[in-house]
Amino acid sequence: MVKYKLLVALILIVTNASFGQERKVVRDFGIWVGAAVQKKVHKNVRLELDQQLRTHVNSTRLDDYLADFGAEYAISKHFDVGANIRYIYNVRRFEGARHDLRYNVDFGFKIDIVKKLRVYYRLRYQQKFETFYQPSKEFNTTIRNRIKLRYKLPKRNQIYLSGEVFRFFPRFGDAYFNTIRLCLGDKVDITSGSIDVAFCYEVEPESSWPASFYFLRIGYVWKP
DSSP assignment letter at 44: T
At a CB cut-off of 8 Å and minimum separation 6, what does 43 contact?
none
pLDDT at 17 over 50: no
Secondary structure (DSSP) of 167-221: EEE-SSS--EEEEEEEEEEEEEEETTEEEEEEEEEEE-TT-SS-EEEEEEEEEEE
Please give the distance of CA 13 from its chain centroid, rounded to a whole number: 18
Mean pLDDT of 10-37: 70
pLDDT tens digits, one per residue of 51-107 = 999 999 999 999 999 999 999 999 999 999 999 999 999 997 777 788 999 999 999
* pLDDT tens profile 155-200: 899 999 999 999 999 888 899 999 999 999 999 999 999 999 999 9
Q: How many residues belong to the chain?
A: 224
| CA distance to 113, 173, 201, per residue, from 6 (Å) | 16, 28, 17
**Number of compact structural domains in the chain:** 1
Taking the model in full, what pTM does it have? 0.86
Q: What is the CATH number of the domain that holds 164?
A: 2.40.160
Percent pLDDT > 90 in the chain is: 73
Residue 18 is predicted with a pLDDT of 45
Show the domain range for 195. 2-222
Residue from 142, 145, 146, 144 nearest 168 by CA: 142
> Measured in Å, how far apart are the chain's first and last C-alpha atoms?
38
User: Which run of H or of E encompasses 144?
Assistant: strand 138-152
The reported pLDDT for the residue numbered 200 is 98
